[in-house]
Chain A
Amino acid sequence: MMDGSSFRLKHAGQALRHDSALKHATGEARFLDDMPEPAGLLHAALVLSPLAHGRLDALDTQAAGAMPGVVRIITPQDIPGENDIAPIATGEVMLAEQMVEHHGQALAIVVAQTRDEALRAAAAVTAAITPLPPVLSIEEGLAREAWIIKPQTMVAGDAAAALEAAPHRLSGEFRAGGQEHFYLEGQIALAIPGEEEEMLVHSSTQHPTEVQHIVARVLGVPYHRVTVQCRRMGGAFGGKESNASWIAAAAALAARLTGRPVKLRLPRRADMAATGKRHPFLYRWKVGFDDAGRLLGLDALLAGDGGHSVDMSGGVVFRALTHALNCYGVPAHRITACAVKTNHVSNTAFRGFGGPQGALLMEEVLHAVAAHLGRDVDQVREANFASRTPYGQELDPSLTRRVLAEAKQDAGWEAKRAEIAAFNAAHPTLRRGLGSFVCAFGISFGIVHLNQAGALVHVYTDGSIRLAHGGTEMGQGLFIKVAQVVAEVFSVPVESVGLSATSTAEIPNTSATAASTGSDLNGWAAHAAATTLRERMAEVAAQHFGCPVEEVVFEDGQIFPGGAGSNKRLTFGELAKLCWKARVSLSATGFYKTPDIHWDATALKGEPFHYFTYGAAVAEVLLDTLTGEHRCLSAHLVQDCGRSLNPAIDLGQIEGAFVQGMGWLTTEELWWDGQGRQRTLGPSTYKIPGSRDVPPVLHTRLLAGSAGRARTLFRSKAVGEPPLLLATAVVNALRDAAGLVHLDLPATPERLLLNLKAIKSGP
C-alpha cells in the first residue's frame, strides 16, 4: 500500500494555505450565525441557576411567559425523550430537575420571536432554590471522597520503601487552574424540524455524531431522524464536544415543541457560566533521590476538579495519569489520579485533555530536586529520561534528548545564561530567567474503539472530486490536510478536491475531531476511499491503454501507461468519464482504525497510543519583582511532526497552542466567589493572551528528518495538542527568574509577587 514513506510527495507535505483563508479575511466565510435564517425562525435562551448548590423547589415562569414575543418556556417535564446529555456515562441532566449543582446550570429554555425577547424573558424566570453548602475546592472533594472518577493507581516496585531508603527526600503540593476555551465563536445551534420527526441540526460542533445521539436521546427518536451538519467552527479547543451536544439538543427540543426552526446562540457570559472548562488539578508528591539527581521513589496524587458531573472526566484522568511521568522514569512509584465532584460547572475536554496537567507534576519535582542538590535542572532531566512509560509502552529517549538539545541550541542557551546573569546583576528590580521543557505526548483516543474514522469520496465525470469525512473544521486546517491526501492519491491539483460540510448523513458513527487525531484518522480514511477509487479507475485505464494495471501511472492530473514507448494519455476527467461509460462506480467509502493499540483499564497497562510526539521548548522571561508582572521575551520551540502533512498549518498549530498554553499557565484565571459563583464571565475579567503577550522572538521549528516510525499517514505526526505543553517552559523560566521552585498556576502577577514577598520575609 502506498503510504508515501518512500515516495516524493507532491501534495501532501506542501505548505498550503488554509482553504478558507481569504474568505475568512473578507468576511465571506459563513459561520453558523451568518447563515441566512429560515422563515419562521424562533430564538431560544437559557435560564441559568443563580446559585451553586441547592434544592430546586420551583420555577416561576408566569411573568416571563407573559412577556412580549414569548412563545414557550420549556422545563424538564416537556422533554419527550430523556433528560440526559451524558456523553459517556449516563444521568447527566440537560435541565436541572430536583437539584441545582452549579452556578450557571441550565434550568429552562425560553423560546421567543426574537433573541432579545428570549433573553429578556429568560432573565425574568425566577427559581426558588433552597441553598445547600457548595463544595468548591478539590481539597474538600478529596476529604469527602466525592469521586467523579475513582482513584486509579499506577504502581511499580515499592515506592514507600524506596522513599524510605533514598539518600534525599522532598515533598510538595501545588495547584494548576482550569481554563476557559474562549473560542471566539460562542456555542450555537440551529435546529430545523422536518417531516416525520426529522430534525436537521446545524451545530458548531467537534462531534456531529454525538450531537446526533444526544438530540435523538432528548427527543426520543431513532438516530436516523437526526442529521447534523457543521461547515466550520470559530474555534473549539475541546469546548465544542460534549457542550455543543447539549446546546444543540436544547435547540432541537425547542424546535420539536414549537414545530418551527429554532436558533440558540449563547451570549458570552452564559457560555462561560454554563459550559465546562479545562480541569483544575491539585498535586501532592513525595520523592526520594540520590546525589546524582536520579529519582528512586515517587508517591504522587493528581486530583482533578471534575465539576458536578462526569462528562469526559474519565478520559482526562486517564491522560493525566499516563502523562504524569512525562518522558521520565522512576523505578519505584505509586501514582494516583482521580477527579472529585464539586459544585463547579462540569469540566470537559480542552486541548491536551489532562496531558498538560499530568506533565506539570514532574516539572515541580525535578525543579525541587535540582534546587536541593544545587544542580542544573537539565542535568536532573537527563538523569531520569525513560525508554518506557510506567504502563509499559516504549518511548524513544533519543528523540527526547534530540528535541531538547535542539531547542537549547536554537535558543543559544549558554550565551543566554551569561547574558541573563549580567542583566540580573545590573538591574535593581527586574529579573530575567530561563526555562526549558521537553515532553512526549501520546497520540490516540484513550478509549480504543474511538480510534476509527470514515470518509466518502466521489469522482464526477468532469474529473472533479468531492471529499467528505467525519472530521470537523475548527480552524486547525483539517480540511486542507485531508484534501491534500486525496490529491496525493489521485495526483491531481488540490483545487480539484471539493470540500463539504461535515454531515452525519454522509459519514455515520464518527468520533469527535479531538485528541489531535483528526488528520491521522480522517486522512487515512480518505486515503482508503481514494485508493479504492484509484484502483478501480486504474483497471479501466489499463483496459483503455492495453497495458497491465500495475503500469498505469497517475501523475499531475494525467494518466498514462508507465511502460516505455507509449504516448497515450488521459486527463483525470477523461478517465472519469471513461469509467462512467464502463459503468464503474466512482464513489467509495473509506474506513480506518488505528492498529495495534490496547489498554487494560484494570491493570493500567498496555500500549494505548499509536505513537508519541516529542517537543521541547526554551523560554526566557522578564519579571518585575516590584509588581509580579512578567512577560516572555523569547521562546524557541522544536516540535516533532514526523513528516509534516502541511508545514504551514502545523506551524500555526504549534504557535497557537504555545500561546494558548501560556495563557493557561500565566494570565487566565477562573475566579469563583465565596458562594461558588463564577465571576470571571467575559473577556473583561478573564484574560487570554493578547498580541503583546506573545514573545517578540518566537522561533518555531518542525523537527527535521524525523519521519514517524509508526505507520502513520505519509509518516506524519499529529500536532493539535502537544505543543500546548511547551508553554510549561515559561513557568520554568519564571521559577528561574523568581528563584522559586513552588509556584501555583496560573502564575499571575499576584502569585509571583506574594511568593516573592514570602521568600523575602523568610519562613
Chain B
Amino acid sequence: MNDQIRLVLNGAPRTLPPHQSPTTTLLDWLRAEGLTGAKEGCAEGDCGACTVVLEGADGARTPVNACLCVLGQLHGRAIRTVEGLGPQHTVPRALAEADATQCGFCTPGIVMSAWAHTREGGDPHEALAGNLCRCTGYRPILDAMARMQDDGAAPPAPMVPDSAKFGGFHLPASLDEALALRAVRPEALVLMGGTDLGLRFSEHREHPAQVLCLLNVAEMRGVEVRPTGLRIGAAASYAEWLRACRADAAWAPLVPYLARLGSRQIRGLGTVAGNLGTASPIGDALPVLLALGAVVEVAQLRGVRHIPVGEFLTGYRRNALVPEELIVAIHLPRPPEGAFLAAEKLSRRHDQDISAVSLAALITFEDGVVREARLAFGGMDATARRCAPAEAALRGRPLDDGALAGAGQALDFAPMADWRGSAEFRMEAARGLLRRLALRHAGLPAEIFA
C-alpha cells in the first residue's frame, strides 16, 4: 500500500512529501513548485489556461485541466507541463512564429493542447474546444497547428495502478476493496474524474477529509466491446467511449455528439458514471443511455443490481444508488440492425457548452414505417427522460417531417427557464431537434456544422 503520492513530472519521477494534501489541485501545486506556465483563468475547467497533458505508457496524450484534478487522483500518472517542452520545442515555436499570441495568457495551455493534438490528430477545433483565447480570434493558432508535427517523444514507462491511501484519500485498486471502503466510510466523497466534483476543490477551495477515488479500480476500467454492445467501465473516460464509437460504424451517429461533450480535457477525465452520479437533467450521456436502453450495474458488499437507466434516474440530481453502492459499469446495448440512431445537442456555443436541450433517438422500422421509437430528451424536465406521447405519435408512420412535427406537438414537457433558455425556447427547440431527425434520416445536411 502506497502512502505517498508518486508521479512523473516532465519525465522526472517525483514522490511528494507525506504531508502533501491529496486534495490540492494540480494547478496550485505546479504553481507553488514554481512551474507557473500553467495559469488559472477560471478554476472551473472551461478556459484551458491550466491545460497540462497526461502521458500514457501507450504514447497517448490526454490533455486535462490542472485546475480540476487533485494530486491524489494523479498518483501513478505522468504529467507534462509547458516547461517540460522547453524553448526549442517546435510547438511553442510554431505558435510564436504564426503570431498566435497576443497577451499570451492562454498560450501555455494552447501549447499543451496542441502538443497532445500532434499525436492524437483529428479535428483541430475539437483539440481547441477546451481552450479559450480572448485576443487572437484563433485563426493564427489554427494556422500554427496545421504546421505542427509529432515530436516522436517516447512515452513514459508504464506504472501499474496500485492501491494507495494518502491520509483520508483512498485509491483502491479492486472492487472488493472499494466496496469495503464504501461500507465503512459512507461519508467519503466518491470521486471519479472530478469534472463535476472538481469545482469543490478548485472553485470552492474545499479539502474534504475523506475521499474515495475509484479511477484505479480494475473492474471499473476500460470500455469493453461485446457482441451485445459496450460495457463502459465506471472509470472509463468519455475519451475511451468516444474511441470505441469511432471504431465501429454502428456507433457512428454518436460520434459528433460525444465529441461535443465538454472538451478534450473534460473527456479525458470525465466519465459516464460521473454523469449518472450527478444525474443532472442536462447530463449529455443520459439521453443516449435512455434511448438505447442502457443498464447500470451497481454493487455493494451484499451484491450486484442491474438497473435500467430510466429507473436509475429518480429525480432532479437524484439517482437510485443506496449509500453503500457504487456504479461499476454501464451496459450499452448495440442498436439493432437497420435501426436509426441519432443524438442532437443544442447549446449556445457549439463546443464546450452545456446543453439547453438534447435529444437521443433510437428508431426501428417495419415495412418502411416506424415500429418503435425511443426518444429521450435532456434539459426538458427535472431529469433526462423519454417522451412516451411523442414516441407514440411516430409509431406506424414514415419518419418524415410531418410525422416528426406531429411528435413535436405531442411533447409533454413543462421545461425549466434559466440562462440557457426560456421554457418557450426549450419547447420550440426540442420540436426543432425532432424535425431535424427527418433531415438526418434522409441523408440531408442537417445542421450548421455538418
- Which A positions have Cβ atoms within 8 angstroms of B? 17-18, 20-31, 33-34, 116, 119-120, 181-186, 232-237, 267-269, 427-430, 474-477, 622-631, 648-649, 651-652, 655-660, 667, 669, 671, 679-680, 682-685, 687-694, 698, 748-750, 753-754, 757
Are B136 and A655 within 8 A (Cβ)? yes
Q: How many residues of B contact A (CB 8 A)?
A: 87
Residues of B close to A685: CB separation below 8 A: 419-420
Are A21 and B448 within 8 A (Cβ)? no
Residues of A close to B41: CB separation below 8 A: 184-186, 268, 683
Residues of A close to B187: CB separation below 8 A: none
Please tell me which one of the listed residues A24, A669, A698 contacts residue B107 in the complex, with CB atoms under 8 A apart.
Answer: A24
Instruction: Using known A-B contacts A184-B39, A475-B135, A631-B448, determine if residue A691 contacts B124 with beta carbons closer than 8 Å.
Output: yes
Are B135 and A656 within 8 A (Cβ)? yes
Which of B31, B49, B346 has most A Cβ within 10 Å?
Answer: B346
Instruction: Using known A-B contacts A22-B92, A24-B104, determine if residue A683 contacts B435 with beta carbons closer than 8 Å.
Output: no
Q: How far is the CA of A26 from the CA of B36 in the complex (A)?
A: 10
Q: How far is the CA of A249 from the CA of B46 in the complex (A)?
A: 30
A-B contact pairs, 30 of them (CB 8 A): A18-B104, A20-B104, A21-B101, A22-B93, A23-B104, A25-B95, A26-B86, A27-B108, A33-B40, A34-B31, A34-B36, A34-B39, A181-B134, A184-B135, A235-B103, A429-B439, A622-B448, A626-B433, A626-B436, A627-B346, A651-B99, A652-B99, A660-B134, A684-B44, A685-B419, A692-B350, A750-B421, A753-B428, A754-B424, A754-B428
Q: How far is the CA of A27 from the CA of B85 in the complex (A)?
A: 10
Residues of B close to A30: CB separation below 8 A: 36
Q: How far is the CA of A34 from the CA of B35 in the complex (A)?
A: 9
Are A18 and B348 within 8 A (Cβ)? no
Instruction: Using known A-B contacts A750-B425, A754-B424, determine if residue A659 contacts B138 with beta carbons closer than 8 Å.
Output: yes
Is B121 positioned at the interface, with any CB of A under 8 Å from its CB?
no
CB proximity of A676 to chain B, nearest CB, Å? 14
Residues of A close to B111: CB separation below 8 A: 25-27
Are B85 and A26 within 8 A (Cβ)? yes
Which residues between 70 and 101 of chain B lie within 8 Å of chain A, taking CB atoms?
A: 81-83, 85-87, 89, 91-93, 95-97, 99-101
Known: A18-B104, A679-B418, A749-B429. 16 other contacts (CB 8 A): A25-B93, A25-B111, A27-B82, A28-B37, A33-B31, A233-B103, A235-B105, A430-B445, A475-B102, A475-B135, A629-B346, A649-B99, A682-B46, A689-B137, A694-B142, A757-B428
Please tell me which one of the listed residues B136, B137, B348 contacts residue A687 in the complex, with CB atoms under 8 A apart.
Answer: B348
Are B129 and A692 within 8 A (Cβ)? yes
Q: How far is the CA of A691 from the CA of B117 in the complex (A)?
A: 15
CB proximity of A418 to chain B, nearest CB, Å? 19
Is B286 positioned at the interface, with any CB of A under 8 Å from its CB?
no
CB proximity of B182 to chain A, nearest CB, Å? 29
The residue of chain A having its C-beta at the shortest distance from the C-beta of B433 within the complex is A627
Instruction: Using known A-B contacts A234-B104, A691-B124, determine if residue A18 contacts B99 with beta carbons closer than 8 Å.
Output: yes
The residue of chain B having its C-beta at the shortest distance from the C-beta of A661 within the complex is B137
The residue of chain B having its C-beta at the shortest distance from the C-beta of A30 within the complex is B36
CB proximity of A95 to chain B, nearest CB, Å? 23
Residues of B close to A33: CB separation below 8 A: 31, 36, 39-40
Are B428 and A690 within 8 A (Cβ)? no
Q: From B224-232, B298-306, B351-359, give the one contacting chain A.
A: B351-359
Instruction: Using known A-B contacts A430-B445, A687-B348, A753-B428, determine if residue A234 contacts B36 with beta carbons closer than 8 Å.
Output: no
Q: How far is the CA of A750 from the CA of B424 in the complex (A)?
A: 9
Instruction: Using known A-B contacts A268-B42, A428-B439, A690-B349, determine if residue A627 contacts B101 with beta carbons closer than 8 Å.
Output: no
Are B350 and A476 within 8 A (Cβ)? no
Are B428 and A656 within 8 A (Cβ)? no
Are B350 and A626 within 8 A (Cβ)? no
Residues of A close to B57: CB separation below 8 A: none
Are A18 and B102 within 8 A (Cβ)? yes
Is B18 positioned at the interface, with any CB of A under 8 Å from its CB?
no
Is B444 positioned at the interface, with any CB of A under 8 Å from its CB?
yes
Are B105 and A20 within 8 A (Cβ)? no
Are B103 and A184 within 8 A (Cβ)? yes
Is B139 positioned at the interface, with any CB of A under 8 Å from its CB?
yes
Residues of A close to B422: CB separation below 8 A: 750
The residue of chain B having its C-beta at the shortest distance from the C-beta of A626 within the complex is B432
Residues of B close to A22: CB separation below 8 A: 87, 92-93, 96
Instruction: Using known A-B contacts A667-B349, A687-B353, A694-B137, determine if residue A29 contacts B104 with beta carbons closer than 8 Å.
Output: yes
Residues of A close to B49: CB separation below 8 A: 184
The residue of chain A having its C-beta at the shortest distance from the C-beta of B87 within the complex is A26
> Which DSSP category, helix, strand, loop or mixed, fits chain B's interface?
loop
> Which DSSP category, helix, strand, loop or mixed, fits chain A's interface?
loop
Residues of B close to A183: CB separation below 8 A: 103, 105, 134
Please tell me which one of the listed residues B37, B142, B448 contacts residue A27 in the complex, with CB atoms under 8 A apart.
Answer: B37
The residue of chain B having its C-beta at the shortest distance from the C-beta of A698 within the complex is B139
Please tell me which one of the listed residues B104, B108, B420, B425 contacts residue A753 in the complex, with CB atoms under 8 A apart.
Answer: B425
Chain B 207-234 interface 0/1 with A at a Cβ cutoff of 8 Å (1 = within):
0000000000000000000000000000
Q: How far is the CA of A295 from the CA of B388 in the complex (A)?
A: 56
Q: How far is the CA of A430 from the CA of B449 in the complex (A)?
A: 11
Q: How far is the CA of A391 from the CA of B203 in the complex (A)?
A: 50
Residues of A close to B424: CB separation below 8 A: 754
Instruction: Using known A-B contacts A683-B44, A683-B46, A753-B432, determine if residue A184 contacts B102 with beta carbons closer than 8 Å.
Output: no
Is B140 positioned at the interface, with any CB of A under 8 Å from its CB?
yes
Q: How far is the CA of A753 from the CA of B101 in the complex (A)?
A: 36
Are B444 and A624 within 8 A (Cβ)? no
Is B205 positioned at the interface, with any CB of A under 8 Å from its CB?
yes
Instruction: Using known A-B contacts A27-B37, A629-B448, A691-B125, determine if residue A656 contacts B137 with beta carbons closer than 8 Å.
Output: yes
Residues of A close to B435: CB separation below 8 A: 429, 626
Instruction: Using known A-B contacts A185-B105, A626-B433, determine if residue A658 contacts B137 with beta carbons closer than 8 Å.
Output: yes
Are B87 and A690 within 8 A (Cβ)? no
Instruction: Using known A-B contacts A630-B448, A656-B137, determine if residue A689 contacts B349 with beta carbons closer than 8 Å.
Output: yes
Are A753 and B439 within 8 A (Cβ)? no
Q: How far is the CA of A225 from the CA of B352 in the complex (A)?
A: 47
Chain B 136-166 interface 0/1 with A at a Cβ cutoff of 8 Å (1 = within):
1111111000000000000000000000000
Are A25 and B108 within 8 A (Cβ)? yes
Residues of A close to B384: CB separation below 8 A: none
Please tell me which one of the listed residues A27, A428, A648 contacts residue B36 in the complex, with CB atoms under 8 A apart.
Answer: A27
Is B43 positioned at the interface, with any CB of A under 8 Å from its CB?
yes
Please tell me which one of the listed residues A267, A648, A657, A694 contacts residue B139 in the complex, with CB atoms under 8 A apart.
Answer: A694
The residue of chain A having its C-beta at the shortest distance from the C-beta of B357 within the complex is A627
Are B37 and A26 within 8 A (Cβ)? yes
Q: How far is the CA of A648 from the CA of B38 in the complex (A)?
A: 27
CB proximity of B303 to chain A, nearest CB, Å? 38
The residue of chain B having its C-beta at the shortest distance from the C-beta of A753 within the complex is B428
Q: How far is the CA of A428 from the CA of B402 in the complex (A)?
A: 13
Are A629 and B447 within 8 A (Cβ)? yes
The 9 closest A-B pairs by CB, nearest first: A27-B37, A24-B104, A475-B103, A234-B105, A626-B432, A25-B92, A659-B137, A475-B102, A683-B46
